[in-house]
Amino acid sequence: MTAFSRRAALRAAAALLSAPPVSGAPFVARAAAGRIVVVGGGPGGAAAAGALKRWAPELSVTLIEASPRFFTCFMSNEALTGARSVDSLAVGMDGLRALGVDVVFDAAAGIDAGQVVCRSGARFPYDRCVVAPGVDFLFDALPGYSEAAAEIMPHAYKAGPQTALLARKLAAAPDGATFVMTVPANPYRCPPGPYERAGLVADYFRRNKPRSKVLILDAKNSFSKQRLFEEGWRRRYGYGAPGALIEWVSADRGGAVVEIDAAGGAVVAGGGRFKGDVVNVVPPQTAGRFARDVGLAPGGWAAVDTRSFESKILPGVHVVGDAGVMASMPKSAFSAASQGKAAAAAIIAALYDRPPATAPLINTCYSFIAPDYCVSIVGVYRSDADGTTLRELPDSGGLSPLGQNDDFRAREARFARAWYANFRADVWGEAG
């Protein structure tokens, strides 16, 4: 356990001495033991904070998040076509406050002597820290791309203003437009996300601008849920035939992007120069800045003990979600929340001097191919005994079966929307 800072302990002692004497011993426990600071209010951090308070209400849990509203990246592809508003993706932190989490809106900047230090100068001492900063984009890895270029060619891969920008560009595109998407090599957040986006935009084109087309330029030769996507694209968008609404160019066929020409409205890939009426660049990614700045992610992603999600570099600091190296567990919101809860359990076990408990983790990930056509992948994972990796349990998990009828796909679409409502209620304590 990280040592308490002397100053904080004295402050706690002073607070105790000035507290009403009737409260006595329980106040000692609350004030002096078990301070957890969570950095990041996305699904990983929020799930960890909520689980800590639900399981051990007397722990002091502080969540540091830069913005009062978090826009979920999951379901944001629906906002690109007007099927839902960008605002509907926002989730606030009031539900976590109601669970007893102290929510602080500030930018976590570093870790110093067992304290999380914020840009405002505020310092938060911790006994255990949970770091869940998500991903950052490696603008430098793609010549010609930058934050400024993202105003012309949005990434829309962190939800919010970028989502709204890409939605406006798609709405303004003429019939006959080409929508060019670039997809990076693995690993990146939400592996099937770009392909879901391609399908939902194709559905929007089919209904509104039927002479238009989606062109996917990929740095990979295969992708998540590929056979399910291709089956759905064939059924809905004529994929693989002349006049298809979606074309996918693999790396082998020249799809890997080498340069972005934002001013010229084009991208340069192995196969040549591709001009688009609307261009969406999904950039290569790395662990969120906080994780890199404090030295948790020397190789770009944070390595953890997969039993507790405690960093292999900084003791007492747990990393969950997209910023971590999570073996075969994909970078998804559901994975992040599962890991956040598991980290919370490990932290409680450590603080209460209990034997560590572990249980299987789940990932469930839905992808839309059209608004009424959805497929899924699930996985049940368990850490191996020495915490070196997460393994899928034999015979479990996997993809939706191929060859199912529209009714089956529509049921998965209903489950996906129900998942979104329940997941928000669970992770951020949002009222139903």
Instruction: Pinpoint the alpha helices (H) of 241-332.
Output: 289-293
Q: Which is nearer to other proteins, 227 or 352 (CB)?
A: 352
DSSP string, 390-429: EEEPTT--EEPPTT--HHHHHHHHHHHHHHHHHHHHHHH-
Is residue 393 within the footprint of other proteins (CB under 8 A)? yes
Is residue 218 within the footprint of other proteins (CB under 8 A)? no
Is residue 176 within the footprint of other proteins (CB under 8 A)? no
Minimum CB distance to other proteins, residue 13 (Å):
5
Is residue 128 within the footprint of other proteins (CB under 8 A)? no
Minimum CB distance to other proteins, residue 36 (Å):
12
Q: Which is nearer to other proteins, 136 or 426 (CB)?
A: 426
Amino acid at 93: M
Is residue 334 within the footprint of other proteins (CB under 8 A)? yes
Contact between residue 291 and residue 131 where contact means Cβ atoms under 8 Å apart: yes
* Residues in Cβ contact with 350 at an 8 Å cutoff, skipping those fewer than 6 apart: 1, 128, 308, 356
Residue 148's CB is within 10 A of a number of other CB atoms, namely 9
* Residues in Cβ contact with 287 at an 8 Å cutoff, skipping those fewer than 6 apart: 133, 135, 136, 296, 297, 300, 301, 302, 322, 323, 324
Is residue 185 within the footprint of other proteins (CB under 8 A)? no
Written as six digits, the tokens of 381 are: 């994972």
Minimum CB distance to other proteins, residue 44 (Å):
12
Report the first-to-last Cα separation within the chain, whole angstroms.
37
Minimum CB distance to other proteins, residue 91 (Å):
13
Is residue 341 within the footprint of other proteins (CB under 8 A)? yes
Minimum CB distance to other proteins, residue 338 (Å):
5
Residues 4-43 close enough to bind other proteins by CB under 8 A:
4-6, 8-10, 12-13, 16-17, 21, 24-26, 28-29, 32-34
Binder among 362, 371, 387, 388 for other proteins (CB under 8 A): 362
Residues 401-420 close enough to bind other proteins by CB under 8 A:
408, 411-412, 414-415, 417-419
Residues 296-315 close enough to bind other proteins by CB under 8 A:
none
H-run or E-run covering 4? none
* Residues in Cβ contact with 119 at an 8 Å cutoff, skipping those fewer than 6 apart: 106, 107, 108, 109
Q: Which is nearer to other proteins, 13 or 172 (CB)?
A: 13
Is residue 78 within the footprint of other proteins (CB under 8 A)? no
